[in-house]
Amino acid sequence: MPVTDLAPGHCEALLRFFGELPEGDLTFIEEEVTDPEVVRAWARGEGGGSRWVAVQDGSDGPVVTGYVAVRPLPGWSDHVGRLRLVVSPAARGSGLGRDLARHALVRAVTAGLTKIVVEVVAEQGAALALFTGLGFRGEAVLVDHVRDREGRLRDLMVLAHHVGDTWAGMDAVGLPEALEG
């Protein structure tokens, strides 16, 4: 499935994508992803960072099946990017999440970021496996940090990918080019 830069022509499809997510998924997304103005601002390049979507053709136009973003942190942490990944329930387990995360990771490194972090709710085993498989390692567990829509407190894991630790060897064997392709 093609991964492409988020553009204004994707706004309605991205809003449908977020609007069709299960309520439980929306709990763990901190941005107001169902607000049309937020999504339109992203498509105009506002809000900082880079954003990509996985899009396929549908009978009523483009259909977004996945979204990924990397936003550099401000100030003294501007070498660090925060990665966000969302995949439609129907596409989970297909490898799309891995493809989107790889795409974002390669682009973040190419843009000069030296550390990429991702936050994952501790119970999300598939997401933890995906990111650790891409070289992310646990840096922190924030106990009872997230409150879900039912009011239950959940632990949040912060995983980090330190570019210098892993990319030097990968670059030597041409893996970044293989990941982009």
The pLDDT tens digits of the residues spanning 40-76 come to 888 888 878 899 999 988 878 789 999 999 999 999 9
Q: Where are the domains of the chain?
A: 3-180
User: Would residue 47 be called left, alpha or beta, if left means φ above 0 and alpha means ψ between -120 and 50 degrees?
Assistant: left
Label residue 172 by pLDDT band (50, 70, 90): very low
Structure tokens at 129: 């496996």
Helices (H), ranges, the chain: 11-19, 23-27, 36-43, 96-110, 125-133, 163-172, 175-180
Q: Which CATH number fits domain 3-180: 3.40.50.1220, 1.10.3720.10, 3.40.630.30, 3.20.20.70?
A: 3.40.630.30
Provide the strand spans (E) within 32-165: 50-58, 61-72, 80-87, 115-121, 137-147, 153-162
Q: Which residues does 9 contact at the CB level (< 8 Å), separation at least 6?
A: 62
pLDDT digits (tens, 9 = 90+) for 13-25: 999 999 998 877 7
